[in-house]
């Protein structure tokens, strides 16, 4: 049940990001100066944390999507559904822990100095 909810929520969040991304990228054609201003607002530590959240959402959505494909197309999939979910969560946690430094390292250096 919760994996279903998490899959839908991450899908909506990814869609929202893509919508905003297309809009702010479209500013280049309208006004390059406005685009530069918008991009400048993204260069702060809060946005770095949001980027980490985006990576988390995309990664969970992708891994859970592969699990759903396995459940649907593998004859033994429904039988091992719970084990596959916990495997997805475990892989997600390990990869997210590995992404802390690359994604949040710059924000930490900006906040606390290098």
pTM comes to 0.86
The mean per-residue pLDDT over the stretch 18-31 comes to: 91
The mean per-residue pLDDT over the stretch 51-70 comes to: 95
pLDDT in tens, 77-90: 889 999 999 999 99
Domain ranges of the chain: 2-112
Residue 112 pLDDT greater than 90, yes or no: no
The class of domain 2-112 in CATH terms is mainly alpha
Nearest one of 94, 102, 92 to 59, comparing CA atoms: 92
Residue 111 pLDDT greater than 80, yes or no: no
pLDDT classification of 10: cutoffs 50, 70, 90: very high
The mean per-residue pLDDT over the stretch 45-50 comes to: 88
Confirm if 53 and 10 have CB atoms less than 8 A apart. no
């Amino acid at each position: 049940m919760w994996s279903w909810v998490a899959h839908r929520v991450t899908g909506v969040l990814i869609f929202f990001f893509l919508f905003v991304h297309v809009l702010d990228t479209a500013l280049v054609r309208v006004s390059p100066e406005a685009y530069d201003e918008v991009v400048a607002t993204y260069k702060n530590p809060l946005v770095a944390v949001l980027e980490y959240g985006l990576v988390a959402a995309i990664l969970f959505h992708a891994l859970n999507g592969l699990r759903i494909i396995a459940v649907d197309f593998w004859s033994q999939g429904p039988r091992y559904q719970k084990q596959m979910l916990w495997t997805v969560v475990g892989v997600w946690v390990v990869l997210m822990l590995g992404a802390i430094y690359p994604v949040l390292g710059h924000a930490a250096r900006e906040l606390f100095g290098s």
